[in-house]
Amino acid sequence: MRKILLLLAILFISISSFAQSRHVSETTKKIVYSRDGGSCKCCGSSSSLEYDHITPYSCGGSSDVSNIQLLCQKCNRSKSNSCTCKIHNTRVGTNCCDKSTSTTKKSSSSSSQCTGTTKKGARCKNKTTNSNGRCHLH
């Protein structure tokens, strides 16, 4: 009986230690507000500010100071679960797919659609940054 209780206790502790919270603590909020100067990291607005996860929570982003930033409501809603503010075309986060972090404007060397064709004859839908205009499959 003791072994079963011990196993259940270990299982409960291990499950609870892996739980992650979306909640941003008051201490973290104060630090981030001070660090970001009380303004949106995208447009500089100081009204309707929200605490945003740089790497989205849904992609494994934590609620630590290093992963929280101030964004105004419009920029935060526009960013949603991506890394780009669609209003200002500015990278303000980390892309879930490639894990690259940036807070600068998009560069002119952005990806484009592959010019290759699939076996069925349709245009390839992959994106590429290769100078030949083709993705890794073509």
53: domain CATH number is 1.10.30
Q: Would residue 18 count as lying in a domain?
A: no
pLDDT recorded at residue 57: 81
Alpha carbon separation from 27 to 4, 12, 65, 95 (Å, rounded) = 40, 28, 9, 26
Q: Would residue 56 count as lying in a domain?
A: yes
Q: Would residue 98 count as lying in a domain?
A: yes
Q: Would residue 19 count as lying in a domain?
A: no
pLDDT recorded at residue 62: 86
Q: Would residue 112 count as lying in a domain?
A: no
Alpha carbon separation from 115 to 68, 106, 109, 119 (Å, rounded) = 38, 22, 16, 13
87-137: per-residue pLDDT in tens?
Answer: 888 888 876 655 444 444 443 456 677 777 777 777 777 777 777 777 766
How far apart CA 79 and CA 93 sit, in angstroms, is 8
Helix, strand, coil percentages (3-state) for the chain, rounded to 5, are: 30, 15, 55
Expressed as residue numbers, the domain containing 97 is 24-106
Q: Would residue 97 count as lying in a domain?
A: yes
10-30: per-residue pLDDT in tens?
Answer: 766 655 544 556 789 999 999
SS3 of residue 85 by DSSP: strand
How far apart CA 136 and CA 54 sit, in angstroms, is 29
How far apart CA 107 and CA 78 sit, in angstroms, is 19
27-51: per-residue pLDDT in tens?
Answer: 999 999 999 999 999 999 999 999 9
Q: Would residue 66 count as lying in a domain?
A: yes
In the chain, how many domains are there? 1
Q: Would residue 74 count as lying in a domain?
A: yes
SS3 of residue 67 by DSSP: helix
pLDDT recorded at residue 129: 75
Model pTM? 0.56
